[in-house]
Amino acid sequence: MIVAALLVLLAATVALMAAPDRFRGRSAAGLGAAASALTFVLLALAWDGKASTSGEVDVAWIDVLNARFHLGLDGVSWPLALLTAFLTVLCCWWLARSGAGPAPSARFVALLLVVEGSSIGVFASLDLLLFFVFFELALIPMWFVIAYWGDPKDQAGRRRAATRFLLFTVTGSAVLLVGIVVVAIEAGSLQIADVQGTHSVLAASLIAIGLAVKVPIVPLHTWLPDAHGKAPTVGSVLLAGVFLKLGTYGLIRLDVQMLPSATAEIAPYLAAAGVVGIIWAGLVCLVQDDLKRLVAYSSIGHMGFVVLALATMTEAGVTGAVFGSVAHGLVTGLLFFLAGGLKDVHGTASLTALGRGLYERTRWFAVALLVAGLATMGLPGLAGFWGEYLSLRGAYEEGALDRSLAWTLLGVATIGIVLATAYVARFVRMLLQGEPTPIDTDRDLRARGVVVALVVPILVLGLWPTLLTDLLGSGVMGTSLLGVGR
């Protein structure tokens, strides 16, 4: 099923690349949406319960290195893979319907599909080398997405932002590769399940540092606001909704689950960095003028919660990290659709340039932004809350941290929630409220279905969190998750 899903994407990508003239505009986006939807269905069907690894594929690949073409999904990766496919469907839908921003071209859609496929590949990989291959695969397509279809007004800037993004993440993944090598040597295998339990602080640190760039963890985050500021709308959505997840997923799978004893030794640093990120991002958000940069920093804050959660290495924490990742994909995806949509329509995402009174001027944008804002500040009842809650719960349980540190971090992290409230209230006040100042580029949201399609799961997950947490169950920290069936 997983292979079939990847092949569907490959076929669609090849078709789009090979015949860019046949698929123009909406037909390209339509093909992309159809392929992603089919992928979504196939991945959804691949699930056979949390008791075993779903859709496992395990064939020889490189014997000498003991690298195998080994794919499979479990409760941690399955929701993320589904999220990836879901967001890509929405991206293609948005391209077809938004009516602003870059026109959907075949190559653009093809690159999005590559990003999607490689991300799903990362989530599904049960082999370290395969993981890394997929991890790297999406980078160059993403570079093109930002550099070619980014901010149409700032060609040099988007190029620079794209290159920054690439060099930062590649440096990170290079360090990650060294970490993988260390693990492979220590454990003598590249299979995640076999490697599990190896004690190598060096490997855990290298992997954590490498992935910290991707997550991103402060102070390795400075590529993110630039990239988001210049990326096209759907690029931002995938960057935030999917790419950042590669980092958090990697931390869960490769550090917390694969090298638990070693990760426990670096967990305090990770947790502290995560919390610093929460506060730092919250503060910076308070004075951002560019809505897209603001959302980018808010992402960093959310990722801070996720990092804190997984660094506790408790059941609640890891569950929270997964939940936070999925919820962040939906919420920040929505925010980027809206912020990007505004930028596409008006040519700028500057709060001052966009003017005030959006409630009056473009009601759909305004209400959707409000809902997304409420979700991003972690309003209970919306998806964003549970990740934060579980993260605090994990910190309270201490887990891999000692009590004074854990509780200090918990206290500081909660300040981040207030900061989030403040910056959301600030942009609501500056942008949505106020005496309307209509400008002639005003045009309301077109692809409303995309927004609805995101709000619904945000609400559903907010009110029915067990839908997701039940996938993980009590095995999330144990060996049962990956060891089943082997």
Per DSSP, which regions of 74-137 are E strands?
A: none
Stretch that binds another protein, among 36-44, 304-312, 387-395, 437-445 (CB under 8 A): 387-395
Identity of the residue, 107 or 343, whose beta carbon is nearer to another protein in the bound complex: 107
**Which of 93, 123, 336, 389 is close enough to bind another protein by CB under 8 A?**
389
**Which of 3, 37, 103, 133 is close enough to bind another protein by CB under 8 A?**
133
**Residues 362-381 as x/- pattern, contact with another protein by CB under 8 A:** ------------x--x-xxx
Q: How far is the CB of 41 from another protein (least distance, A)?
A: 26
Extract the tokens encoding 102: 């870059």
Four-residue CA torsion sign, 70, 73, 78, 82: positive
- Bond from prior residue into 219 cis (ω within 30 degrees of 0): yes
**Which of 196, 408, 433, 480 is close enough to bind another protein by CB under 8 A?**
433
- Segment 17 to 46, residues that bind another protein, using CB under 8 A: none
- Segment 177 to 196, residues that bind another protein, using CB under 8 A: 177-178, 180-182, 184-185
* DSSP bridge pairs for 290: 350
**Residues 257-276 as x/- pattern, contact with another protein by CB under 8 A:** --------------------
**Residues 137-176 as x/- pattern, contact with another protein by CB under 8 A:** x-xx--x---x---------------xx-xxx-xx--xx-
- What number of chain residues touch another protein (CB under 8 A)? 87
Report the alpha-carbon distance of residue 237 to residue 240 in Å, rounded.
Answer: 5
Extract the tokens encoding 438: 């209509």
Q: How far is the CB of 206 from another protein (least distance, A)?
A: 8
The DSSP-derived string for 66-78 is TEEEEEEE-TTHH
**Residues 336-355 as x/- pattern, contact with another protein by CB under 8 A:** --------------------
Q: How far is the CB of 61 from another protein (least distance, A)?
A: 6
Q: Provide the phi-psi class of 413: left if phi over 0, else alpha when psi is between -120 and 50, else beta.
A: alpha
- What are residue 255's phi and psi, to 5 degrees? -100, -60
Identity of the residue, 147 or 259, whose beta carbon is nearer to another protein in the bound complex: 147
Four-residue CA torsion sign, 318, 323, 329, 331: negative
Residue indicated by tokens 């403040």: 422
Residues 6 or more apart in contact with residue 188 via CB below 8 angstroms: 66
Closest CA to 323 of 385, 261, 415: 385
- Segment 42 to 81, residues that bind another protein, using CB under 8 A: 60-65, 67
Is 11 a residue that touches another protein (CB under 8 A)? no
